Amino acid sequence: MSDLITRLRSGLPEGAVLTDPDVTASYARDMAGFSPAGAPAAVVLPRTTEEVQHVMRTATALRTPVVPQGARTGLSGGANAVDGCVVLSLARMDRILEINPVDRTAVVEPGVVNATLSRAVAEQGLCYPPDPSSWETCTIGGNIGTGAGGLCCVKYGVTAEYVLGLEVVLADGRLLATGRRTAKGVAGYDLTRLFVGSEGTLGVVVKAVLALRPAPPRQLAMVAEFPSAAAAGEAVSSIMAGGHVPSLLELMDGTTVRAVNAMAKMGLPETTEALLLAAFDTPDPAADLAALGELCLAAGATDVVPAQDVAESELLLQARRLALTALERVSTATMIDDVCVPRSQLGAMLDGVAAIAAEHDLTIGVCAHAGDGNTHPVVCFDARDPDESRRARESFDAIMELGLALGGTITGEHGVGLLKKEWLARELGPTGLELQRQVKAVFDPLGLLNPGKLF
């Protein structure tokens, strides 16, 4: 181990290699529960591509595993350390290198915080749409690693649709450039898309070329109350079948609404079983919201309340962004699921989760990107109670099984990490899993990059 530290420090500046066990322990895991984490041998904080290359060459020479990390806001254990590894934190590589309003692109390092980029491009009349709930703290590199989504996905899409090109340090230290800066291009295999969502298992992203959009008008929102999840699901189906394109279509079940009220005193209607939040950033958002309101009422909504102005709309959006934090306060621990189902199955998914909660005698709140069927059931439990912890894990698995049975996927935007390895194998099947492992072996033949994740 001393040889590893000596070699690392030989090519890195003072203070870039951390070995104090109390400090390295703070880098051992992300925000996922039920995911084991090992003890890193060192944490490295590079600032340049060349420094990342030095780390990977050293790791290859000594056969040392490397776990790339962003802000550790992940929810699947994908950034958790393994014993004796080098944790490669990209947090200090945080420069926005270029914003080009003509090409509508930005070039950034992986440690740039999502919200920082969004605000920087907004100053030039542009927009970077992917906006995870953790956008104030999560990094672009982490977003790329997990293929993150956000509240605007229903209209603007997810991270993968905005990554045009990458610079990636491979396991042996070589630098690979993928993709393009042009508006279109189909030269060769799409390696850029391969790296998006790969969770640091194929290479270390050190630079990204991102697509931007012109900044849309400020959006106007509304909320609709429903007496059942089935009715809310019916409304979502009617909205999408009717050809409407809201900039946001989010859902919170009654458990989540009450948790948000308890934390933030926002005055949301506590008698509702499902609250649907919709917004438009069109030239006439009030008219579009009125049309959606009619569809919600036809589906069984008991009340539809449009926001009066942009400030009120932002308040409603803030309530949705607080959902996960509020549910974390319900008990001592949470497990946050990330199951995406066809939009037509959203009501069945919500009803199924409620049945699972009753069967396991647990509180499970659900918030969802309803417009694309991406649900986030949050299992609340007392981690100090072994029986309750067991039931929490069983309910988590039951939710994933339900999602697959409804034609869905085990993860829409959080990734697989450690938490869902078994379920990835079920979803892919033997042939799919074998081919994925073969792809991994091409890029990382020694298995040093983020070992144990995905499969």
pLDDT at residue 395 is higher than 80: yes
Kindly state the average pLDDT of the residues 379-395.
96
Contacts 24+ apart (CB under 8 A), 173-178: 173/53, 173/54, 173/56, 173/57, 173/60, 174/53, 175/49, 175/53, 175/206, 176/203
**Residue 284 CB contacts under 8 Å (≥ 6 apart), including other chains:** none
Q: Do domains 2-89 and 217-329 have the same CATH topology?
A: no
Residue 100's pLDDT band (boundaries 50, 70, 90)? very high
Mean pLDDT of the chain: 96
Report in angstroms the alpha-carbon separations of 455 from 60, 234, 286: 21, 37, 48
Question: 319-336 burial, b if ≥16 CB within 10 A, otherwise e?
Answer: bbbbbbebbbebbebbbb
Give the per-residue SS3 of 359-417: HHCCEEEEEEEHHHCEEEEEEEECCCCHHHHHHHHHHHHHHHHHHHHCCCECCCCCCCC
Question: H or E segment at 222?
Answer: strand 220-226
Please tell me the predicted confidence (pLDDT) of residue 207: 98
Please tell me the predicted confidence (pLDDT) of residue 150: 86
Kindly state the average pLDDT of the residues 79-102.
98
Taking the C-alpha atoms of residue 228 and residue 160, their distance in angstroms, rounded to an integer, is 34
**Residue 70 CB contacts under 8 Å (≥ 6 apart), including other chains:** 79, 89, 90, 91, 110, 111, 138, 139, 141, 142, 143, 145
Q: Is the dihedral of CA 246, 252, 253, 254 positive or negative?
A: negative
Residue 151's pLDDT band (boundaries 50, 70, 90)? confident
pLDDT at residue 1 is higher than 80: no
Kindly state the average pLDDT of the residues 27-52.
96
> Using CB atoms within 10 A of its CB, is residue 347 exposed (0-12), middle (13-18) or buried (19+)?
buried
Q: Which of 222, 196, 435 is nearest to 315 (CA)?
A: 222
Taking the C-alpha atoms of residue 365 and residue 378, their distance in angstroms, rounded to an integer, is 5
Please tell me the predicted confidence (pLDDT) of residue 142: 98
Identify the architecture of domain 217-329 in CATH: 2-Layer Sandwich (3.30)
Taking the C-alpha atoms of residue 322 and residue 150, their distance in angstroms, rounded to an integer, is 13
Taking the C-alpha atoms of residue 103 and residue 212, their distance in angstroms, rounded to an integer, is 9
Residue 152's pLDDT band (boundaries 50, 70, 90)? confident
Kindly state the average pLDDT of the residues 177-204.
96
Residue 33's pLDDT band (boundaries 50, 70, 90)? confident
pLDDT at residue 34 is higher than 80: yes
pLDDT at residue 133 is higher than 90: no
**Domain ranges across the chain:** 2-89, 96-214, 217-329, 330-438
Share of the chain above pLDDT 90, in %: 94
Please tell me the predicted confidence (pLDDT) of residue 239: 97
CATH topology for the 96-214 domain: 3.30.465
CATH of domain 330-438: 3.30.70.2740
CA atoms within 13 A on the CB side of 265: 0
Per residue in 242-267, pLDDT (tens digit) is 999 999 999 999 999 999 999 999 88
Taking the C-alpha atoms of residue 214 and residue 121, their distance in angstroms, rounded to an integer, is 9
Cβ(43)–Cβ(91) below 8 Å: no
Helix (H, G, I), strand (E, B) or coil at 277: strand
Q: Which of 423, 333, 421 is nearest to 77 (CA)?
A: 421
Q: Which of 123, 131, 70 is nearest to 99 (CA)?
A: 123
Please tell me the predicted confidence (pLDDT) of residue 219: 94
Q: What value, to the nearest 5°, has the Cα angle with vertex 148 and ends 146 and 149?
A: 160
CA dihedral 378, 383, 385, 391 (to 10 degrees): 30
- DSSP at 215: P
Please tell me the predicted confidence (pLDDT) of residue 372: 94
When the candidates are 3.30.43.10, 3.60.15.10, 3.40.50.11540, 3.40.50.150, the CATH number that belongs to 2-89 is 3.30.43.10
